[in-house]
Amino acid sequence: MTFKDISLIEPILRALKETGYENPTPIQEKAIPAILSGRDLLGCAQTGTGKTAAFSIPILQLLHKSDNIKGIRALILTPTRELANQIGECFDAYEKYTGLKHTVIFGGVSQAAQIRALKSGVQVLIATPGRLLDLQSQGFISLKGLEFFVLDEVDRMLDMGFIHDIKRLLKLIPQKRQTLFFSATIPQEIKGLADSLLTNPIKVEVAPVSSTADIIEQSVYFVEKKDKIDLLLHVLQNPAIESLLVFTNSKHRADKITRILNKQEITAKAIHGNKSQNARESALKGFKNRDIRVLIATDIAARGIDVNQLSHVINFELPNVPETYVHRIGRTGRAGNEGVAVSFCETEEVPYLKSIQKLIKRTIPVIEEHPFVSECIDIASSITGTSAGAKTKNEIAGKQVANKKKTQPQNKERRSDKEKKSHRNVQSKTKQTTNETKNTGNFWRRKNQNQKSSSRMN
């Protein structure tokens, strides 16, 4: 089945073609027709299955066909700013030729730019609960004309204590609406909430992608955030890396990395939602022809990348959704070719690494022999179960990145004692709390309380 078989309108088909989308995923194949028919939907699916497109595409089509698109007609509620931004990038791509507009709002940043975007007029609002209710109480948001209400990752929202915000929000939106409800799991509490919100829903359930190809050599570097770009330049000294796809979590960072690499005379291009179609096609063509050595991409823009001879993938930042990791590294090791997938992990990303390892059911070896080893490597190894020093660059020199600079000599006996001491400390803390993320955050604050002004990649 192709997207043409789902009877999508030409502006959306055109946008999908540009992003490299031709065939719907299982959840899209089931959900899009149901939503287009006007039915409520209960989706049991995790991020990484294509569920964002499963609800964004039909909402855009229905709004495009509507006679009245003034004001906010669709609200997507999500638990975190990261997920809100990811959904926003999807709408960037799919609404391109529809004439529709969206904006993303979340807390922790100034509300000024968000207010300006709301005043300019949007039909789709993507929001976290707290900032949404805040701006609504200030009179900047009206939901009286709402037609579509999407709750994404409901299980995470309830875990984060947003149930009361959701109940407050339900009093502000019309009872007559189409509601789309997505959760990775459906325990009794969530089933009760779904029953109270949905009217005769269609239930769609799909399994997440959770396996990685054995032919892909995976490894992780522990590195401080401020040292990531230097580590990338260090890694690129290896001439064996003929083609490299670098994943970042933001468009701004993709552009910044590109500028730095080009200044170092490393041919690089960035592709993301803000790039024109001609620019994306030119970059991809140059990458496939090996005129461009490094391609830096966001997840949404990378969907159209299919390069059989791609030798290396680097996660400059780990994704907060483990299924995304599987999709990213699947860009290499294609058509029977071997591939290498490398991840740069800073302290705050250690919980993401643990989630990834849990999903793929394997421990990712640590590359310890490099000039920018983070001080968190010992505690991170204890928390994630990774084996520090399990692999060095020399052990996989034929495939993995090679270090040309020597690291400072290390006393193995002292390191071993340090690892044991760190492990004992972590075990002691674990008895007090099972929240490993909190432990990592406390470690980060202790190690970096005097480094708040250090330069960061933003």
387 and 414 together in one domain: yes
- Classify the C-alpha dihedral 54-60-61-63 as positive or negative: positive
- How far are the Cα atoms of 51, 323, 392 from residue 359, in angstroms, in the given order? 18, 8, 24
Instruction: Walk across the sheet containing 312-315 and list its strands.
Output: 216-222, 339-345, 312-315, 244-247, 294-297, 268-271
Residue 260 and residue 271: Cα distance in Å, rounded? Answer: 15
Could you tell me if residue 296 is inside a domain?
Answer: no
The SS3 of residue 94 is helix
Could you tell me if residue 133 is inside a domain?
Answer: yes
100 and 66 together in one domain: yes
pLDDT value, residue 126: 97
381 and 235 together in one domain: yes
Residue 159 and residue 154: Cα distance in Å, rounded? Answer: 9
380 and 231 together in one domain: yes
Domain CATH code at residue 116? 3.40.50.300
Could you tell me if residue 456 is inside a domain?
Answer: no
Confirm if 271 and 297 have CB atoms less than 8 A apart. yes
144 and 236 together in one domain: no
The phi, psi pair for 389, rounded to 5°, reads: 80, 10
Indicate the length of the chain as a whole number.
458
Tens-level pLDDT at each residue, the chain (458 residues) = 889 898 899 999 999 988 878 889 889 999 999 999 999 999 987 666 788 999 999 999 999 988 767 899 999 999 888 788 889 989 999 999 999 999 999 998 899 999 999 999 999 999 999 999 999 999 999 999 999 999 998 988 888 889 999 999 999 999 999 999 998 778 888 889 999 999 999 999 886 666 676 778 999 999 999 999 999 999 999 999 989 999 998 889 999 999 999 999 999 999 887 787 688 878 888 998 899 999 999 886 665 566 767 889 999 999 988 888 888 888 887 666 788 999 999 999 999 999 999 988 999 999 988 989 887 666 566 655 555 444 444 443 344 433 333 333 343 333 344 444 444 443 444 344 334 444 444 444 444 444 444 444 43
Confirm if 391 and 367 have CB atoms less than 8 A apart. yes
Pairing of strands 102-105, 124-127: parallel
Could you tell me if residue 88 is inside a domain?
Answer: yes
Residue-range definition of the domain harbouring residue 368: 216-243+307-445
The SS3 of residue 102 is strand
Confirm if 44 and 18 have CB atoms less than 8 A apart. no
80 and 185 together in one domain: yes
Could you tell me if residue 286 is inside a domain?
Answer: no
The residue whose two tokens read 């029977």 is 336
116 and 46 together in one domain: yes
Residue 367 and residue 409: Cα distance in Å, rounded? Answer: 16
Closest CA to 73 of 211, 173, 162: 173
155 and 21 together in one domain: yes
pLDDT value, residue 335: 62
pTM of the model: 0.60
- Which token pair is 414? 């002292």
- The amino acid present at 343, given as its one-letter code, is S
The phi, psi pair for 272, rounded to 5°, reads: -165, -175
pLDDT value, residue 438: 42
**How many domains are there within the chain?**
2
pLDDT value, residue 408: 38
Residue that is last in its domain, among 180, 205, 230: 205
pLDDT value, residue 387: 53
130 and 108 together in one domain: yes
Confirm if 97 and 117 have CB atoms less than 8 A apart. no
H-type alpha helices, 180-336: 188-197, 228-235, 251-263, 277-288, 322-329
70 and 181 together in one domain: yes
- The amino acid present at 101, given as its one-letter code, is K
87 and 225 together in one domain: no
Tell me which H or E stretch contains 155: helix 154-159
pLDDT value, residue 284: 84
pLDDT value, residue 21: 82
The residue whose two tokens read 């492990």 is 423
List, as own/partner pairs, every contact residues 174-179 make where C-beta atoms lie below 8 angstroms and the sequence separation is at least 24, other chains included.
174/143, 174/144, 174/145, 174/146, 174/147, 177/146, 177/147, 177/148, 177/149, 178/35, 178/38, 178/39, 178/40, 178/147, 178/148, 178/149, 179/40, 179/41, 179/148, 179/149, 179/150, 179/151
Instruction: Walk across the sheet containing 124-127 and list its strands.
Output: 102-105, 124-127, 74-77, 148-151, 178-183, 41-44, 202-205
Could you tell me if residue 455 is inside a domain?
Answer: no
Treating both helix axes as pointing N-terminal to C-terminal, what angle do 163-170 and 188-197 enclose, rounded to 10 degrees?
10
Confirm if 83 and 189 have CB atoms less than 8 A apart. no
Could you tell me if residue 383 is inside a domain?
Answer: yes
Query: How many C-beta atoms surround the C-beta of residue 242 within 10 A?
Result: 12
Confirm if 457 and 256 have CB atoms less than 8 A apart. yes
Residue 243 and residue 296: Cα distance in Å, rounded? Answer: 11
pLDDT value, residue 277: 66
pLDDT value, residue 436: 43
Could you tell me if residue 264 is inside a domain?
Answer: no
167 and 228 together in one domain: no
Residue 84 and residue 103: Cα distance in Å, rounded? Answer: 10
